[in-house]
Copies of this chain bind each other. A is one copy, B any other.
Amino acid sequence: MTSPNKPLILVCNDDSVYAKGIKELVEVASEFGEIVVVAPDKPQSAKSHSVTLEHPIFFKPTDNFGGHTAYKCSGTPADCVKLAIHQILKRKPDFIISGINHGSNSSVNVLYSGTLAATIEGCMHTIPSIGFSLLSFESDADFNPAKPFIRKILHHVVTNSLPPGTCLNVNIPNIEAEKFKGIKVCRQTKGVWAEEFNESKHPSGRFNYYWLTGKYINLEPDATDTDIWALENDYVAVVPIQIDLTDYKNFQKLTILEQNN
């Protein structure tokens, strides 16, 4: 399972081992190395970087990926990566890739995404990691137009690695192959969800319940260097993301808090 000559590529996602997107990602990634899939056994969208502390988790083999070694895991995407690295794999993977997510993880959605949490968890373990998302929530979305770009990005990362502490958030527009303009390296768009909850009365009549819905608001619609701009203009959006959340830009002005220590 872990030939020393071929790169070992761990594949995860948050839509579960049964999603079309992860099968399509395995198909492309298998051109670049040996694949092991460790992914959730049920959908784990919007689980962010949560890890399971309150009960144990388990994994079982799945034959859902043809000849590739694959396991389904009862935990979150971050659990899957931890379990793969510390328990399942015989050696540290050379690369971690996550996706292809069914739906966008651009802008602030990177913070809610389980797909990107698997990527960030890989980055924490100093493994070059990439999260891929297609802008379609359809379960039978067409991933074919996206594949040349996934191939190009994988080729670059397998050949050149990534700077330590950096991983990639790749979002791909859901358009026909001939419409793509190429790849754009861009920054995370400032945005927010204007959440409107659907409010309904509980069947008991005693209280109301609320179902999360809402619409995304782009707070900088005129900017042309953002991931949302790239996607709206038929580019594949690649945002280099970091795991150090420190805001160095505003660091100095906050040292006023040290006064009168």
Contacts and interface: CB of A to CB of B under 8 A. Distances in A.
A55 B45 CA distance: 13
Interface residues of A, number: 87
A243 interface: yes
B50 A112 contact: yes
A169 B240 CA distance: 23
A247 B165 CA distance: 9
A86 B251 contact: no
B251 A247 contact: no
Contacts of A210: 56-59, 83, 87
A256 B210 CA distance: 46
Name the residue in A110, A125, A247 with the highest tally of chain B Cβ atoms < 10 Å from its Cβ.
A247
Tell me the dominant secondary structure on chain A's binding face.
mixed
| Top 8 A-B pairs, shortest CB-CB distance | A182-B261, A48-B49, A242-B247, A48-B48, A56-B209, A241-B245, A187-B246, A240-B247
Nearest to A58: B209
Interface stretch (A3-11, A16-24, A197-205): A197-205
B212 A79 contact: yes
A20 B20 CA distance: 46
Contacts of A87: 197, 199, 210
A114 to B, nearest CB: 8
Nearest to A200: B56
Interface string A214-247: 0000000000000000000000001111111111
